[in-house]
Amino acid sequence: METKIHSFSYKKYDNINDLPTDLQTLMLEAIKIRNQAYVPYSSFAVGVAILLDNGEIITGNNQENAAFPSGTCAERVAIFYAMAQYPKAKIMKIAITGTNINFPKNEPVTPCGNCRQAILEYESVKKQPIEILCMGATGEVLVVSSVKDFLPFCFDEF
């Protein structure tokens, strides 16, 4: 038997103002759409902004439903809309911000497992690593170079 170590590197910025201008712009769009999320049940609002290789920025937020499994995460709202409208485009970057609207938290919010798998699908099919920025209400921003950093031993083709 052999023991292996899986690790990855990421960038940590102290706050949104420390980001390069293009990433600041993307995160500001995510914040703007986060504030419009429909979250009457959990009060946990998430906003996402996606930068496509054609320069378009697509945004989305989470949409809850009284039948809980029927709601949709912000990442999938934005990704599926982007790929429906621009099927030939590649996703270059995704900015994610989330917080409880009643009790704001500054810990970075990362995609759930379902969203990681959805991001992976387009990263794999388009053969383009997708940079992911993660932030809470405010505070530090984590940046990873690929969803595979969040999803080791991923299921990406069969």
Q: Is 8 exposed, middle or buried (0-12, 13-18, 19+ CB in 10 A)?
A: exposed
List C-alpha distances in Å: 43 to 9, 54, 136.
Answer: 32, 34, 14
Kind of pairing between the strands at 44-52 and 57-61? antiparallel
The annotation places the binding site for Zn(2+) at 73, 112, 115
Catalytic annotation present for 123: no
Catalytic residue, candidates 75, 107, 123, 131: 75
**Cβ 132 vs Cβ 96: under 8 Å:** yes
Q: Which residues are CB-neighbours of 84 under 8 A, at least 6 positions away?
A: none
The annotation places the binding site at 73, 112, 115
Q: Which residues are CB-neighbours of 125 under 8 A, at least 6 positions away?
A: none
> Which of the residues are catalytic?
75
